Amino acid sequence: MAHEVSIRITGEAGQGTQTIGDVLCRVFKAAGYHLFAYQDFMSRIRGGNNFFEIRVSTRPVHSPRHKQDLILCLDKASVDIHKKDLATDGILFLDRAASKLAALEEPMFDVGFDEISMRIANDRLYINSIACGLIAGVTGIDFSIVTQSLKEVFARKSEAVIQNNINTSRAGFELGMENPHKEMFTLAPGAKYDPMAHAPLLLDGSEAIASAAIQAGCGFYSAYPMSPSTNIMNIIAGRSAQHHIVVEQAEDEIAAVNMAIGASFAGSRAMTSTSGGGFCLMAEGVSLAGMTETPIVIVDAQRPGPATGFPTRTEQADLDFVISAGHGEFARVVYAPGSPEQAYYLTMQAFNIADKYQIPVIILTDQFLQDSIVDTAALDPGRIPVARYVISKQESAKISGYKRYALTDTGISPRAIPSWFDEVMYADSDEHTEEGHITEDAAMRKQMVQKRLHKKLHGLLSEIEKPTAVNVENADVILLGFGSTLGILQETTQALEKRKVGFVHLSQVWPFPSNEMLRLLSDARMIISIENNAQGQLAKLLRRETGIKVSKSILKYDGRPFCLDCVIDIVKPEL
Amino acid sequence: MAMTANDFTSNDPIAWCPGCGNFGILTSLKLALARLGTQPKDLLLVSGIGQAAKMPHYIKANCFNGLHGRSLPVAAGAKMANPNLTIIVTTGDGDCYGEGGNHLIHNIRRNLDITVIVCDNQIYGLTKGQASPTSDPGMVTKVQPEGVSAQHLQPLALALAAGAGFVARGFSQDTNHLAGLILAAIKYKGFSLVDVLQPCVSFNKVNTYDWYSKRVYKLDASYKPTDLNAAFARSLEWGDRIPIGVIYSRDKPARV
């Protein structure tokens, strides 16, 4: 019996690794297991080598492992690339005939995918379903769960196609059941869900952000397609009619951000998403939102740069950039969610904070988070109630002598929406008077800078999202990270819990939570920052804002996410 | 009660040079708004940067004065979010045809109900006299001391090629004629472009009031603005004779 199994499905782009992964995630979730899954894919539509990895467990899991218990190869190249990652006693499945292998090495098992698909369905299309059945058989899942998941995934297909999927999958399942090593990978019983309770969801970063935006009442979304942010646009567009959201594909990222600003000015909650390269083009828009005090939510789903970099891979190297992008000085907030669940709640909060302070709010994610799938407890949209902070249509009738940029103690001017009241309003990217007209007056300039920067920051400091801190007191080593490394920090700490390891994770990186960090880290014996970039940007920021120095940085900048085992191996010798 | 141009006057002092062609355009726009009769609260004027981009401040209407070249995306976002607003963009040849050229092409394709008035003085005024996309070849400037070598962009032909349903050209000195063009453009359901020939008295010493006055002629009743081929021919007419009036107007489905 196993409590945890790591599975990798690999093949060329276009061979269906993602479909197999999606079905298996549904199967394992329905069978009552926790899982963490992510995808590694190349910037191509066909060929190359992609993989989909699922870590299934009887307890919550949040990060990928290095060694895989089961590797399923859909082509010969996959065998050569991935056999080095097979765990001791792990097994590798392949199609010997299709791979044209003369002989099989010890941990390899031949699955005649092609032959089975042709024999049962008279078509080569069903390799994916055979693969799903095979993995379910080896891990001891009830076949009825596989049937149900296939029916869900292929709901739009004809009855005959669904039946072919089920029949071929059963053949794969039987092969899995017969595997001599099966016992090692058969999972201990999963949880039984109370049918009356909310079942957990399978949530990835893109789905989390898109659902939260819809829940928050986003009325306008404009973007230019760019990996790894594009799925957010795909998801919102797919649900736009139902939720009355205007989704506009912009001609470029400059247009995307400016359109969102226009929509926000005209009364909608507005959002745009991109990756670092697109965010470069949006920098002027960030500055415009700051100057005109127009609320906007921007997602930067990071990928490795500079320039085009690795389009489909992951990095955390835009931190320095997003906290300062856009010329001039003004208040902004940058969130860095650590999981799809955090991404959901922080996206909802981003809309409220953007509206309340009339500022740009940036959600900093990366490919790893966007494409990571985790089983997540049912989401509670009521946790972050929607608050618009605009003068309502009813109240607007009472407006008299309106000044868009009226000076106030908080730096926040009451926000009216054009056409909702009988007067007119002026907004300007030039320095302006309270009325919004262009001015070059020195005293007014100073007051407006204080309004946009100092006064708003003062309010924002009281609303900082607290870092997650675990086992920090008396720890010999405190791990430090932000954004998508939360799962790695959590699980490394768990794995080394008897050795006095703790962690601090920031889900808000700007305004920097200096007071909290001083409280948590001033007495730390040893701090190790764990970052997916080449400079230790968080460590540098920590030092700049608090004077605290980390002892060491574990940096990964090869475009791939951290895996749990590797981090544990690096941290252990420090204890 | 009928509205007058004065109903659209703001209290913001005007910062243009004396004699600027923009004064005529401002007058025409206010005349057109008075004839249109839409309340100031339901109007939104959007602009970018340049002398023309200051115009919304001088009009009593809602105003978003954004970044250089970006008036059209802001206007498009505002229109999609709040279709009840009547949206007019005031922009210049540098703002609209230079910095914002890509936005022009794609907002013509979007065909939202937006009117774009391009104050086209064939020069960069705010930055003190460099060539613009519509400067005539040979014009000598501080940055082009040997004369402009690039071709003169034909914005009306560009708009027609991108699929614009309403394209017109006016002259800032003929304010009544221009007011009529602007009113027709606003009433047109869809994207409308009015390119306005406008002298820059400070920096353009070639294309003066006199230069334009000798060349412009009004399209007469025999001209059929629904004929795209004829419109292309007129849109490219430039030099000794320059047509003003509605070059092309044809109904097509607008988005909002």
Q: Please report, for chain A, the start and end positions of each structural domain, with discontinuous segments joined by +.
A: 4-185, 203-383, 390-463, 468-574
Partner A contacted by B73 (CB < 8 A): yes
Mean pLDDT, all residues of chain B: 97
| Mutate which: B45, B58, B60, B64, vs A, most A CBs within 10 A | B64
Range 29-58 of B in CB contact (< 8 A) with A: 40-44, 46, 49, 54, 56-57
- In this complex, the residue of B49, B64, B67 whose CB is nearest that of residue A427 is B64
Contact at CB, B57 and A284, closer than 8 angstroms? no
Q: Which of B58, B79, B82 would you mutate first to test chain A, the one with the most A CBs within 10 A?
A: B82
Grade residue B184 by pLDDT with cuts at 50, 70 and 90: very high
Res. B251 pLDDT band, cuts 50 70 90: very high
Q: How far apart are CA B244 and CA A200, in angstroms?
A: 67
Which residues of chain B make contact with A281, given a CB cutoff of 8 A? none
| 3-state secondary structure at position A298 | strand
A277 touches chain B (CB under 8 A): no
CB B105 within 8 A of CB B191: no
Taking domain A203-383, whether its CATH number is 3.40.50.970 is answered by yes
Interior CA angle at A245 toward A243 and A251, to 5°?
A: 150
- By the 8 A CB rule, do A348 and A341 touch? no
Alpha-carbon span B93 to B123, nearest angstrom: 8
pLDDT at A43: 87
User: How wide is the angle at C-alpha A325 spanned by C-alphas A321 and A328, nearest 5°?
Assistant: 140
A 232-261 residues inside an 8 A Cβ radius of B: 246, 248, 250-252, 254-256, 258-261
- Give A407→chain B minimum CA distance, Å: 19
Chain A residue with CA closest to B84: the answer is: A419
- Between CA A493 and CA A503, with CA A498 as vertex, the angle to 5 degrees is 25
Residues A499-529: pLDDT tens digits? 899 999 999 999 999 999 999 999 999 999 9
Q: Are A342 and A205 in contact (CB under 8 A)?
A: no
A96-105, A126-135, A208-217: range with lowest mean pLDDT: A96-105
Q: Return the domain boundaries, chain B.
A: 18-249
Q: What is the average pLDDT across A275-302?
A: 98
When pLDDT is cut at 50, 70 and 90, the band that residue A195 belongs to is low
Question: Over 80: is that where the pLDDT of B1 sits?
Answer: no
Tell me whether residues A292 and B64 touch, CB distance under 8 A: yes
Q: Does residue A45 register a pLDDT over 90?
A: no
Q: Do B82 and A220 touch (CB under 8 A)?
A: no
CB contact under 8 A, A426 and B70: no
Supply the pLDDT for residue A18.
Answer: 93
Residue A198 has a pLDDT of 64
Q: Which CATH number fits domain A4-185: 3.40.920.10, 1.10.760.10, 3.55.40.20, 3.40.50.1860?
A: 3.40.920.10
Question: In CATH terms, are A4-185 and A203-383 the same topology?
Answer: no
List the one residue out of B130, B101, B115 whose CA is nearest residue B168.
B115
Query: Which chain B residue has its CA at the smallest distance from A435's CA?
Result: B12
Give the distance from residue B256's alpha carbon to the nearest chain A alpha carbon, in angstroms: 11
**A349-377, pLDDT tens digit by residue?**
999 999 999 999 999 999 999 999 999 99
Angle, in degrees to the nearest 10, between helices A276-292 and A253-265: 30
CB distance from B83 to chain A under 8 Å?
no
Write down the pLDDT at residue A500: 92
Q: pLDDT digits over B51-61, tens only?
A: 999 999 999 99
Determine whether the interchain pair B70/A288 forms a contact, defined as Cβ–Cβ distance below 8 Å: yes
Compute the nearest-CA separation of B142 from chain A (Å). 26
Contact list in B for residue A419 (CB cut-off 8 A) is 41-42, 44, 62, 82, 84-85
On average, the pLDDT of chain A sits at 96
Indicate if the pLDDT at residue A175 is higher than 90: yes
CB A126 within 8 A of CB A164: yes
Top-confidence residue, B1 or A378: A378
Query: How close is the nearest chain B Cα to the Cα of A60, in Å?
Result: 42
For residue B131, is pLDDT > 90? yes
Q: Which residues have a Cβ under 8 Å from the Cβ of A5 and sit 6 or more positions away?
A: A55, A56, A57, A69, A70, A139, A185, A187
The residue of B10, B59, B70, B111 whose CB has the most chain A CBs within 10 angstroms, and thus the best one to mutate to test that interface, is B70
pLDDT for the residue B193: 98
What does the pLDDT read at residue A196? 55
φ and ψ at residue B238, rounded to 5 degrees: -155, 135
- How much is the pTM? 0.97
Q: What is the DSSP string of A318-356?
A: -HHHHHH-SSS----EEE--SSHHHHHHHHHHHHHHHHH
Q: Chain B within 8 Å of A428 (Cβ-Cβ)?
A: yes
Q: Which CATH number fits domain A468-574: 1.10.760.10, 3.40.50.920, 3.30.450.20, 3.90.1420.10?
A: 3.40.50.920
* Pairwise CB contact (< 8 Å): A429 & B65: yes
Q: pLDDT tens, A468-493?
A: 999 999 899 999 999 999 999 999 99
Cross-chain Cβ contact B77/A263 below 8 Å:
yes
Which CATH number, 3.30.300.170, 2.40.37.10, 3.40.50.720, 3.40.50.970, labels domain B18-249?
3.40.50.970
pLDDT band of residue B13 (cuts 50, 70, 90) is very high
Q: Which residues of A touch B85 (CB under 8 A)?
A: 266, 418-419
In chain A, which among 282-321 make CB contacts under 8 A with chain B?
Answer: 284-285, 288, 292
Nearest CA in chain A to B58: A437
Q: Which of B44, B75, B106 sits opposite A418 (nearest CB)?
A: B44
ipTM of the complex: 0.98
Tens of pLDDT along B218-232?
Answer: 999 999 999 999 999
B49, B85, B103 ranked by CB distance to A255: nearest: B103
**Radius of gyration of chain B from Cα atoms?**
17
* A89–chain B Cβ distance below 8 A for any pair: no
pLDDT at A193: 67
Q: How far apart are CA A499 and CA A476, in angstroms?
A: 8
Chain A residues whose beta carbon lies within 8 Å of the beta carbon of residue B67: 258, 284-285, 288, 429
What would the mean pLDDT of A179-188 be, rounded to a whole number?
Answer: 94
- The candidate with the shortest Cα–Cα distance to A209, out of A218, A222, A199, is A218
Tell me the nearest-neighbour CA distance from B22 into chain A, angstroms.
18
What whole-number distance in Å separates Cα of residue A239 and Cα of residue A210?
10
Q: Is B101 on the interface with A (CB under 8 A)?
A: no
Q: State the pLDDT at residue A197.
A: 60
- Nearest-10 crossing angle of helices A205-215, A230-238: 50
Q: Residue B80 and residue A259: Cβ atoms within 8 Å?
A: yes
Chain A CB contacts of B40 under 8 Å are: 424
B16, pLDDT greater than 90? yes
Question: Residues A223-237: what's their mean pLDDT?
Answer: 98
Contacts of A256 in chain B (CB under 8 A): 73
Candidates B63, B77, B102; nearest CB to A260: B77
B212 has pLDDT over 60: yes
Q: Choose the closest CB to A220 out of B49, B77, B84.
A: B77
Q: CA of B72: how far to CAs of A261, B48, B49, in Å?
A: 12, 8, 12
Instruction: Determine the pLDDT at residue A192.
Output: 73
Q: How far apart are CA A109 and CA A72, in angstroms?
A: 10
Q: Does B213 touch chain A (CB under 8 A)?
A: no
Q: What is the pLDDT of residue A122?
A: 94
B206: distance to nearest CA of chain A, Å? 31
d(CA A52, CA A16): 10
Q: Which residues in chain A have Cβ-Cβ distances shorter than 8 Å to B61? A: 424
**In this predicted structure, what is the pLDDT of residue A194?**
61
Q: Specify the pLDDT at position A103.
A: 80
What's the gap in Å between the CA of B56 and the closest CA on chain A?
9
Q: Beta partners for B249?
A: B166
B77-115: pLDDT as tens digits: 999 999 999 999 999 999 999 999 999 999 999 999 999
pLDDT confidence of residue A359: 98
> Please, what sign has the CA dihedral across residues A530, A536, A540, A543?
positive
CA-based nearest residue to B166, from B241, B245, B219: B245
Q: Which of A220, A251, A267 sits opposite B102 (nearest CB)?
A: A251
